[in-house]
């Protein structure tokens, strides 16, 4: 029921893929507009891109919003955490190329300016900036009543974050090899993805389940603290932010290897509720949701002891998920669930042999 239900909930992933092809047909040629300072150092497709600033330094850049989590904030009339989500979705992507986030700007659109609501949103931005150790040097507050159709409390928020990384230390995953270790950092819940489906399945607007609503609104975990500690101490060989494509985000790394996952965290109850209510297969769940893992890194086996010491010292919640195996193409095997990836989907092992 997963794919069908997701389409019925208003998310058409096939049309989105087609639209992206048309978008990139015009975006990719802009790369040639900058051939020295500002030159793209990565193709589109990584979690963030890096621009050449010269003298061996790169500027990482990422932009994102929080999707339909905004509708949950409106339902709950609770606006003080959505800014954390917006910053998290951006800075976590910067980390994936090895960058240190330094700054963030926001765009807030409202149908009607309500000072108390804006201040609550700002509280979340402040807290997110504190966790990510970034500043907010500017932004935009726009009154666009004609395009906001959700009532007086309707709003949207998106952001752009920048970070810095030496060009010699950009991380793409291209040096992964057999025996490397996959570490997963626990998520704080559903984060800011899959909420269109979760909302349709779990929330009845006529009789809201306040406990479920509060669970869905838990802000996205920001991984800057642990990643800065690790990046300064060991060689992190690959990094993946587990967002809108679930565990499939891992194969965005630049290596033809198999990511063998043999250990998973205890499944947070919110995902069990979604799966049971929608009768969604595990293949689809691991494609669409983070399933308790919000962020992954890959390190050499030789660095495992030091990594463990660093993460325990800063009380970071993580698990050892698995290891890298040889393969002729990018592939994920989730052994406890007997599913593996091919292309942009997961399949049961017995179905594909």
Would you mind telling me the total number of residues written for the chain in this entry?
A: 353
Residue where one domain finishes, among candidates 113, 142, 169: 169
Are residues 209 and 265 both part of a single domain? yes
What pLDDT is recorded for position 205? 67
Q: Does residue 322 lie within any of the structural domains?
A: yes
Q: Does residue 206 lie within any of the structural domains?
A: yes
- The total domain count for the chain is 2
- CA atoms within 13 A of residue 147's CA, in its CB half-sphere: 5
Give the model's confidence band at 104: pLDDT under 50 very low, under 70 low, under 90 confident, else very high: very high
Distance of CA 20 to the CA centre of its chain: 18
What pLDDT is recorded for position 8? 55
Are residues 288 and 314 both part of a single domain? yes
For 193-248, how does the pLDDT look when each residue is reduced to its tens digit (9 = 90+)?
999 999 999 997 667 799 999 999 999 999 999 999 999 999 999 999 999 899 99
CA R_g for the chain: 20
Q: Does residue 307 lie within any of the structural domains?
A: yes
Are residues 144 and 220 both part of a single domain? no
DSSP state of 283: H
Q: Tokens at residue 202, please?
A: 């779990």
Q: Does residue 12 lie within any of the structural domains?
A: no
Neighbouring CB atoms inside 10 A of 231's CB total: 19
Are residues 157 and 185 both part of a single domain? no
Residue where one domain finishes, among candidates 169, 196, 217: 169
Domain that holds residue 154: 34-169
Checking if the pLDDT of 6 tops 60, the result is: no
What pLDDT is recorded for position 4? 53
pTM: 0.94
For residue 241, give the CATH number of its domain. Answer: 3.90.650.10
Phi, psi of 294 (to 5 degrees): -95, -15
Are residues 199 and 162 both part of a single domain? no
For residue 97, give the CATH number of its domain. Answer: 3.30.1330.10
Q: Does residue 252 lie within any of the structural domains?
A: yes
Are residues 186 and 329 both part of a single domain? yes
Q: Does residue 26 lie within any of the structural domains?
A: no
What pLDDT is recorded for position 12? 59
**CA-based torsion, 144, 150, 153, 154: positive or negative:** negative
Are residues 152 and 191 both part of a single domain? no
Q: Does residue 29 lie within any of the structural domains?
A: no
Are residues 203 and 150 both part of a single domain? no
Are residues 221 and 150 both part of a single domain? no
Average pLDDT over every residue of 31-50: 95
């Amino acid at each position: 029921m997963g794919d069908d239900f997701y389409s019925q909930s208003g998310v058409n992933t096939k049309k989105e893929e087609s639209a992206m092809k048309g978008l990139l047909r015009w975006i990719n040629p802009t790369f040639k507009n900058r051939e020295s300072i500002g030159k793209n150092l990565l193709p589109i497709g990584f979690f963030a891109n890096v621009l050449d600033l010269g003298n061996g330094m790169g500027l990482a850049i990422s932009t994102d919003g929080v999707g339909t989590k905004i509708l949950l904030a409106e339902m709950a009339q609770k606006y003080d955490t959505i800014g954390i989500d917006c910053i998290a979705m951006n800075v976590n992507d910067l980390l994936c190329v090895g960058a240190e986030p330094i700054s963030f700007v926001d765009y807030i659109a409202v149908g009607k300016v309500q000072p108390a609501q804006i201040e609550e949103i700002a509280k979340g931005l402040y807290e997110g900036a504190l966790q990510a150790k970034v500043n907010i040097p500017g932004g935009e507050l726009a009154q666009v009543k004609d395009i906001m159709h959700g009532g007086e409390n309707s709003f949207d928020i998106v952001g752009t974050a920048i970070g810095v990384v030496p060009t010699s230390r950009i991380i793409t995953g291209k040096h992964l090899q057999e025996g490397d270790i996959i570490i997963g950092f626990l998520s704080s819940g559903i984060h800011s993805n899959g909420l269109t489906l979760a909302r349709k399945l779990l929330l009845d607007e006529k009789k809201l389940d306040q406990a479920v609503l509060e669970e869905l609104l838990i802000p996205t975990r920001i991984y800057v603290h642990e990643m800065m500690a690790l990046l300064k101490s060991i060689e992190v060989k690959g990094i993946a932010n587990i967002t809108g494509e679930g565990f499939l985000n891992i194969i965005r790394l630049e290596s033809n290897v198999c990511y063998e996952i043999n250990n998973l965290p205890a499944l947070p109850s919110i995902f069990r509720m979604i799966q049971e209510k929608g009768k969604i297969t595990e293949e689809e769940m691991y494609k669409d949701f983070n399933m308790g893992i919000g962020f992954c890194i890959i390190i050499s086996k030789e660095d495992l002891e030091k990594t463990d010491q660093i993460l325990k010292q800063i009380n970071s919640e993580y698990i050892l998920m698995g290891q890298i195996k040889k393969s002729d193409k990018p592939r994920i095997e989730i052994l406890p669930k007997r599913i593996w990836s091919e292309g942009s989907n997961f399949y049961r092992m017995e179905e594909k042999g």
